[in-house]
Amino acid sequence: MKIFLEPIGLYSRAMVRIANALREYCPESVSITDNVESADLIILYVIGSSQIPLAESYLSQGKQIAIVQCCLKTAGGTLSEWINLWRKCAIVWSYYDLTSYAIQEYKRASITSIEYNNYIECVNFYHAPIGIDSIFKQNISKIQDRERYVITTGYVDGTGCEAITDVWKAALSESFRVVHIGGEVARHGEFPEAVVRFEDVTDELLRNLYMGADYVFSLRYHEGFELPAAEAISCGTRPVLFVQPDLIHHYGAIPYYLKECQGKELINEIRIMLSLPRSNCIVPDYLVNQIRFRFDWQAICKGFWASLMRNAREAGNTNFTGTRTEDTANANV
């Protein structure tokens, strides 16, 4: 079977990391192609409802589809529409526990148990996080006598999606420097001179920035896996996230959590946090190792490929060969 796994018409650092990891840990029985037209199966990275007609188009051409569901709550479309698409997919991977979301929809729709079997249980869900690249798993060197700074990440502050400028105001008022990794938030307000911005940052520089920071802020309203949080923890730095159940499931109690708010309320909460002792921002080694194990790319990809291949065999697809491996879906890798 030939599989196309590069993001189509989209780009994010997380999508590229997923594609690279799937390629690196691809089993011998799978062939990766760079030509979408020759592919038997296409992996789609979902951030919006525009991927629904795209997926349906590929399905109508006789191709198989696998989905990496990066967004759900802000993706547009109804949950019922997504479920109808998921049922047609070879596998649906998400950091969300999509089975629980589908069950909620099943209960809301009050469908019968027989309909439930056809409606949800046939979906091949794979519940797993995004992994941490090896460059962020090197020895940690935290410098204690440096000038203090925090990192913000994101692209769309000012649209109600991300809290970026509120972090800047709080940090600068507490005499912290600010490093911003992401796009030009300046379209929603001028960059303060004290904010240093990086966009096309190398992983090596990103790792060093993580290690040197006091905190890494990934404050996205509504949803977002916040890969910088995992990478920051692996570099020994505590991330700051909004309280969201799906994030807590993967990150546990390691991050500093803030309730979703904005403006003066959020600024005050951040200022209180920044006044805590410096030791609060450092993640101890045993928790760093715990996160590195939980977000291990090899285990995550092994689970993905095993689940995909098992599903293909059960569907009678002879394009997949090879021995069966242990499916680690939902194993909380």
What is the average per-residue pLDDT within 314-319? 60
The whole-number pLDDT of residue 75 equals 84
Q: Check residues 119 and 310 and name the one with the higher pLDDT.
A: 310
The whole-number pLDDT of residue 322 equals 37
Q: Check residues 156 and 129 and name the one with the higher pLDDT.
A: 129
Dig out the tokens for 71 from the structure: 């967004």
User: Could you tell me where the beta strands, DSSP code E, fall in the chain?
Assistant: 2-4, 31-32, 41-46, 64-69, 91-94, 125-127, 149-154, 177-182, 195-198, 215-218, 238-242, 256-258
Domain 2-131+296-314, CATH: 3.40.50
The whole-number pLDDT of residue 221 equals 86
Lowest mean pLDDT among 160-169, 174-183, 303-312, 319-328: 319-328
Dig out the tokens for 320 from the structure: 């997949």
Looking at the DSSP assignment, which residues form a beta bridge with residue 65? 42
The whole-number pLDDT of residue 323 equals 32
User: Would you state the torsion angle of the CA atoms of residues 126, 45, 27, 128, taken in this order, to the nearest 10 degrees?
Assistant: -30
What is the average per-residue pLDDT within 277-304? 94
The whole-number pLDDT of residue 191 equals 66
φ and ψ at residue 193, rounded to 5 degrees: -60, -25
pLDDT over 90 percentage in the chain: 56
Whether the predicted pLDDT of 87 surpasses 80 = yes
137-294: same fold as 2-131+296-314?
A: yes
Q: Check residues 77 and 256 and name the one with the higher pLDDT.
A: 256
Mean pLDDT computed over every residue of the chain: 85
User: Could you tell me where the beta strands, DSSP code E, fall in 108-225?
Assistant: 125-127, 149-154, 177-182, 195-198, 215-218
Q: How many CB atoms lie within 10 A of CB 121?
A: 13
- Domain 137-294, classified CATH 3.40.50.2000, yes or no: yes
Reported as a single tens digit per residue, the pLDDT across 21-64 is: 999 999 998 999 999 999 999 999 998 888 899 999 999 999 99
The whole-number pLDDT of residue 186 equals 47
What is the CA 300 to chain-centroid distance, rounded?
13
The whole-number pLDDT of residue 279 equals 87
The whole-number pLDDT of residue 111 equals 57
Does the pTM surpass 0.75? The reply is: yes
* Ranges of each domain in the chain: 2-131+296-314, 137-294
**C-alpha–C-alpha distance, residues 241 and 267, integer Å:** 14
Strand order through the sheet with 177-182: 195-198, 177-182, 149-154, 215-218, 238-242, 256-258
Whether the predicted pLDDT of 243 surpasses 60 = yes
312 band by pLDDT with thresholds 50, 70 and 90: confident
315 band by pLDDT with thresholds 50, 70 and 90: low
Reported as a single tens digit per residue, the pLDDT across 184-219 is: 654 455 667 788 888 778 999 999 999 999 999 999
What is the average per-residue pLDDT within 310-320? 65
Whether the predicted pLDDT of 86 surpasses 80 = yes
Judged by phi (left if over 0) then psi (alpha if -120 to 50, else beta), residue 120 lies in alpha
Question: Which range has highest mean pLDDT (137-141, 255-259, 329-333)?
Answer: 255-259
Lowest mean pLDDT among 3-17, 22-36, 71-85, 95-109: 95-109
Reported as a single tens digit per residue, the pLDDT across 115-150 is: 555 666 778 999 999 999 999 998 877 665 567 999
